[in-house]
Amino acid sequence: AQSVTQLGSHVSVSEGALVLLRCNYSSSVPPYLFWYVQYPNQGLQLLLKYTSAATLVKGINGFEAEFKKSETSFHLTKPSAHMSDAAEYFCAVSDLSGGYNKLIFGAGTRLAVHP
């Protein structure tokens, strides 16, 4: 069965600093992986996804993630944090059992950006 672990429920960075949000997955088959973001009082928005094409995936708002099979990781990065990046971030994997695409989420990481 697939699962997702996000290391660090809270991450705090300075504006302009590197953002690194960690995600490790467990899957017995090649996974489909997603990063979603939830801004305050809004729904989940897709940042990027990995679907077995390029291992380095670029998303919206300057975020990217690298799929590393040997490390079973899909960490999210952004070179320079903006105040507007403050939000909660969720890593997810597709549970393909049964032939459909339900998502299994990690517990989320809340990112704070301070001046």
Note the residues at the interface with another protein (CB under 8 A).
Answer: 32, 34, 36, 41-46, 49, 51-52, 90, 92, 94-96, 98-108
Where do we find the tokens 């040997």? 70
The smaller minimum CB distance to another protein, of residues 81 and 91, is found at 91
Shortest spacing between CB 14 and another protein, in angstroms = 27
Q: How far is the CB of 7 from another protein (least distance, A)?
A: 14
Nearest to 16 by CA among 84, 88, 64: 84
Q: Between 98 and 115, name the residue whose CB sits nearer to another protein.
A: 98
Q: Nearest distance from residue 102's CB to another protein, in Å?
A: 5
Count CB neighbours of 69 within 10 A.
Answer: 11
For residues 78 and 106, which CB has a smaller minimum distance to another protein in the complex?
106
Alpha helices, DSSP H, located in the chain: none
Q: How many C-beta atoms surround the C-beta of residue 29 within 10 A?
A: 9
Least CB distance to another protein at residue 5 (A): 10
Handedness of CA 2, 105, 5, 36 (dihedral sign): positive
3-class secondary structure, 62? helix
